[in-house]
């Protein structure tokens, strides 16, 4: 396995356990795919060796996510893998016509799978929260145009997965989902 995802530096995961769970979920999905490991094995490896505080460990620089919300981490990974046959076509349909799914960077693919899984959770956070959180995670992994791509793809995917959140009438003069202001970046 390459250590690329462990080198990400998202916004202070120790201060945001749910963000830490999302970072770890992306790392675990990447590892599961690249090493062709069973996701339950990867979840257990992460829970035992990469999540939580270990005195003397190097912290995030060593691939640790010290304060990750472990139940959310496990739920995201399990749902992303269980629903992958539904999630991957949704992602593929949201990509530009000249950009096949297989061309996606493996970390980006893991990030999008995790985000769509979380968007699909019945009791999950609002879609705009999920988009913003995964945009923050994308900024930790990528330094080019990828975060912008993530923002656009997640906006399109959220509208497909949770259409009700975007069809509600605007409150007190806020932009509607169909107005130009609604298409502005979420971050």
Give CB contacts under 8 A, 24+ apart, made by 133-136. Answer: 133/18, 133/19, 133/22, 134/22, 135/186, 135/187, 136/10, 136/11, 136/19, 136/187
Which helix (H) or strand (E) covers residue 184, if one does? none
Helices 106-119 and 17-34 pack at an angle, to 10 degrees, of 130
Give residue-wise pLDDT tens across range 1-47.
Answer: 344 454 454 444 445 889 989 999 999 999 999 988 888 888 888 88
* pLDDT computed for residue 183 by the predictor: 38
- The string of pLDDT tens digits covering residues 107-153 is 999 999 999 999 999 988 999 999 999 999 999 999 998 999 999 99
Q: State the average pLDDT over residues 74-83.
A: 95
Which pLDDT value is given to residue 66?
65
Q: Is 150 helix (H, G, I), strand (E, B) or coil?
A: helix
In this predicted structure, what is the pLDDT of residue 117? 97
Of 114, 33, 129, nearest to 77 by C-alpha is 114
Share of the chain above pLDDT 70, in %: 73
The residue count of the chain comes to: 187
pTM, entire model = 0.77
Per-residue confidence (pLDDT) for residue 64, from 0 to 100: 57
Q: How many Å apart are CA 4 and CA 126, to the nearest integer?
A: 29
Q: Integer distance in angstroms from the first to the last C-alpha of the chain?
A: 31
pLDDT at 30: 94
pLDDT, tens only, 35-62: 888 888 888 888 887 676 544 444 444 5
Q: What residue ranges define each of the domains in the chain, with the CATH number in brackets?
A: 10-162 (1.10.940.10)
Average pLDDT, the chain: 80
Residue labelled with tokens 């899984």: 117
State yes or no: pLDDT of 185 exceeds 50: no
pLDDT for residue 51: 76
């Amino acid at each position: 396995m390459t250590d690329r995802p462990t080198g990400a530096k998202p916004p202070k995961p120790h201060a945001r356990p749910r963000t830490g769970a999302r970072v770890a979920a992306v790392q675990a999905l990447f590892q599961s795919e690249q090493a062709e490991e069973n996701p339950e094995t990867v979840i257990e490896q992460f829970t035992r060796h990469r999540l939580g505080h270990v005195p003397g460990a190097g912290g995030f620089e060593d691939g640790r996510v010290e304060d990750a919300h472990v139940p959310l981490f496990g739920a995201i990974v399990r749902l992303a893998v269980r629903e992958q046959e539904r999630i991957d076509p949704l992602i593929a349909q949201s990509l530009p016509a000249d950009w096949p799914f297989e061309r996606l960077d493996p970390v980006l693919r893991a990030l999008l799978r995790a985000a769509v899984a979380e968007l699909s959770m019945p009791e999950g956070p609002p879609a705009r929260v999920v988009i913003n959180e995964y945009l923050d995670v994308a900024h930790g992994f990528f330094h080019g145009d990828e975060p912008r791509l993530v923002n656009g793809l997640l906006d399109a995917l959220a509208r497909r997965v949770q259409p009700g959140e975007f069809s509600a009438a605007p409150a007190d003069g806020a932009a509607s989902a169909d107005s130009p202001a609604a298409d502005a970046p979420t971050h």
